[in-house]
Amino acid sequence: MLVVTRKLDEAIVIGDGIEVRVLRIGRDSIRLGVTAQPNVPVHRAEIYEQIRRANAAAAADAGTLTALVTRLRDDAPEPPEE
């Protein structure tokens, strides 16, 4: 792991044009500004991990999925009234 010390309003640049800047330093947290192209997704690590686990729990192979859907159809909410 690369470890860099940065002060308020200093930044690092990652690769081609991704900038991470220290915007504010608090007692328990710091505020970072990330500048990147729109096609570069930036996620909070704990949210990404939470969704990774949820996706793993939801994934099935095609065979079990058919059985799952058949079973769940009895359990599904009614369609909204028109």
Partner 1 sequence: MSQPAHAVVEFREGLPGFEACRQFVILSGPAVEPFTIVQGLGPDAPAFAAIDPLRVVDGYRARLEPADLARLGAADATPLVFLALVSAQPSGRATVNLRAPLVINPETLRGIQLLGAESAHAVDHPLRAA
Binding site for partner 1 (CB under 8 A): 38-39, 41, 43-44, 47-62, 65, 68-69, 71-73, 75-77, 79-80
Kindly state the smallest distance separating residue 3's Cβ from partner 1, in Å.
26
DSSP string, 11-54: EEEETTTEEEEEEEE-SS-EEEEEE--TTS----HHHHHHHHHH
Kindly state the smallest distance separating residue 6's Cβ from partner 1, in Å.
22
Kindly state the smallest distance separating residue 7's Cβ from partner 1, in Å.
25
Q: What is the DSSP letter of 58?
A: H
In the numeric block, which tokens belong to residue 75? 């359990």
Closer residue to partner 1, CB minimum distance, 8 or 50: 50
What are 41's strand-pairing partners?
none
Closer residue to partner 1, CB minimum distance, 4 or 61: 61
